[in-house]
């Protein structure tokens, strides 16, 4: 006997905004919450930025956990490497599993000079089972312009392992990705001259006109002159006077603390059921009715045999279907004037709402105008 089951969940959600009385309408609006932050933590200087580097190389010294023979490009890479060293070996004659083709990634920080060492991340590009115990051979790292900016080489540090015995495999973390601390050396820096510049642009991480205005006033107050000018909600221009020490000026500006006004936001990840609600989210009076109807369809397959000594009978498979329905009672939540996010969370926990239910309720509250925040769905 075999059976199959299918469950269908139907959620009933009703969001009803309250009608405010004259007293509620006349109440003072909630104060705008701000916090202090350093300019260097909420903005960046245009042009002073990191640059991504990437390269392709091979890892050797693996204990039979490298790429298999079905992956041809590691063997081709090894053949080219040996040829550059004066050793000519036909690719068809190479039969080894102690090497793996990898991609190498690194970040080139601003003002990096030749000789500066960088951390690198190495990831397998083939079907290698583990990079544990491997050595990355010299690999050039390229920038977006196709030029070589660093060279990488060194033993790998793997944060996991993979063991296979007689078809049984035990794996911990991700053994196909490793790091080499200070494994790359910069060969070419990105030129960036500060001397002689008359203007810099500060770029806010989160565009906001009020935060930009607050930053402008704080900078001008700190420097004692009109050095900052707001261009838009993200950019603030900083003027440099003749003969001014630019590194000292930027250090002074980045250390200034300014009030910022973060945007009210609710972040929802529907894949994992994670909901993050910011503390600046404002809730309006609302009544929420939440219930659900669960329908479970179960199919059982039974085998019908003909009677003994009967003629002409055949064995048949008969499907028996049973439908079970369960209607959950409607739960009610009331959020009055002045309710906070903590009140909402506590109320949802009280009625036993799951993460999926919370996501549906928040989206319905946004549609009903009871949630004054931006809902971002990941």
How far apart, in whole angstroms, are the C-alpha atoms of residue 105 and residue 54? 5
The pLDDT assigned to 146 comes to 92
Please state, in angstroms and rounded to a whole number, the distance separating the CA atoms of residues 199 and 319.
Answer: 79
Residue 5 has what pLDDT? 45
Whether 200 contacts 45, CB under 8 Å: yes
> CB under 8 Å to 167, separation ≥6 — which residues?
none
Cα–Cα distance for residue pair 297/276, rounded to 1 Å: 35
Q: Provide the pLDDT for residue 4.
A: 47
Q: What confidence score (pLDDT) does residue 24 get? A: 34
* Domains of the chain and any CATH numbers: 9-25+265-293+329-377 (no CATH), 35-48+193-260 (3.90.1150), 51-186 (no CATH)
Predicted confidence at residue 183, as pLDDT, reads 94
Q: What secondary structure, in 3-state letters, does the chain show?
A: CEEEEEEEEEEEEEEEECCCCHHHHCCCCCCCCCEEEEHHHHEEECCCCCEEEEEEEEEECCCCCCCCCCCCHHHHHHHHHHHHCCCCCCHHHCCCCCEEEEEEEEEECCCCCCCCEEEEEEEECCCCCCCCCCEEEEEEEECCCCCEEEEEEEECEECCEEEEECCEEEEECCCCEEEEEEEEEECCCCCCCCCCCCEEEEEECCCCHHHHHHHHHHHHHHHCCCCEEECCCCEEEEECCCCCCHHHHHHHHHCCEEEECCCCEEEEECCCCEEEECCCCEECCEEEEEEEEEEEEEEEEEEECCCCCCCCCCCEEEEEEEEEEEECCCEEEEECCCCCHHHHHHHHHHCCCCHHHHHHHHHHHHHCCCEECEEEEC
pLDDT of residue 226: 92
Of 125, 121, 135, 59, the residue nearest 96 (C-alpha): 59
Residue 244 CB contacts under 8 Å (≥ 6 apart), including other chains: none
**Nearest Cα to Cα of residue 103 among 123, 120, 119:** 123
Q: Report the C-alpha gap between 135 and 152 in whole angstroms.
A: 11
Question: Closest by alpha carbon to 178, among 63, 50, 59?
Answer: 59
CB-CB contact of 362 with 266 (8 Å): yes
Tens of pLDDT along the chain (378 residues)?
444 444 444 444 554 444 333 333 334 444 555 678 899 999 999 989 899 999 999 999 888 888 887 777 887 888 888 888 888 777 666 767 788 999 999 999 999 999 999 999 999 988 888 888 899 999 999 999 999 999 999 999 987 766 666 666 666 677 889 999 999 999 998 888 888 889 999 999 988 899 999 999 999 999 999 999 999 999 999 999 988 899 999 999 999 999 888 778 888 887 777 778 776 777 777 777 766 555 556 656 676 777 766 666 677 776 666 766 666 666 677 777 767 776 777 777 777 777 777 777 778 878 888 778 888 877
What residues does 10 pair with on adjacent strands? 293
Residues 152, 105: Cα–Cα separation, whole Å: 10
């Amino acid at each position: 006997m075999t059976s199959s089951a299918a469950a269908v969940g139907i959620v009933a959600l009703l969001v009803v905004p309250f009608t405010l009385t004259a007293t509620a309408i006349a109440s003072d609006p909630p104060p705008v919450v701000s916090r202090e932050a350093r300019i260097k933590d909420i903005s960046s200087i245009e042009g002073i930025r990191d640059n991504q580097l990437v390269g392709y190389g091979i890892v050797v010294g693996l204990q039979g956990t490298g790429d298999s023979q079905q992956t041809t490009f590691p063997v081709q890479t090894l053949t080219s490497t040996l040829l550059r060293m004066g050793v000519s070996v036909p690719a068809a004659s190479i039969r080894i599993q102690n090497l793996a083709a990898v991609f190498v990634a690194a970040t080139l920080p601003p003002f990096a000079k030749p000789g500066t060492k960088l951390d690198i991340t190495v990831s397998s590009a083939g079907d290698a089972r583990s990079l544990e115990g491997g050595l990355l051979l010299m690999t050039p790292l390229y920038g977006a312009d196709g030029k070589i900016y660093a060279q990488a080489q060194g033993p790998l540090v793997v944060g996991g392992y993979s063991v296979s015995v007689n078809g049984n495999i035990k794996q911990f973390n991700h053994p196909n990705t490793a790091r080499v601390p200070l494994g790359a050396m910069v060969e070419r820096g990105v030129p960036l001259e500060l001397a002689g510049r008359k203007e810099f642009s500060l770029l806010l991480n989160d565009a906001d006109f009020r935060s930009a205005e607050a930053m402008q006033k704080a900078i001008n107050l700190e420097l004692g002159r009109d050095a900052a000018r707001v261009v838009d909600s993200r950019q603030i221009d900083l003027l440099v006077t003749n003969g001014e020490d630019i590194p000292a000026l930027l250090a002074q500006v980045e250390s200034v603390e300014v009030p910022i006004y973060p945007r009210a936001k609710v972040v929802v990840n529907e894949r994992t059921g994670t909901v993050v609600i910011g503390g600046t989210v404002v809730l309006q009076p609302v009544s929420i009715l939440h219930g659900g109807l669960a329908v479970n369809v179960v199919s059982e397959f039974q085998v019908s045999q003909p009677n003994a000594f009967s003629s002409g009978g055949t064995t048949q498979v008969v499907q028996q279907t049973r439908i079970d329905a369960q209607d959950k009672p409607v739960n009610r939540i009331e959020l009055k004037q002045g309710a906070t996010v903590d009140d909402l969370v506590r109320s949802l926990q009280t009625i036993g709402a799951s993460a999926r239910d919370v996501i549906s309720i928040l989206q319905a509250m946004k549609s009903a105008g009871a949630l004054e925040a931006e809902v971002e769905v990941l």
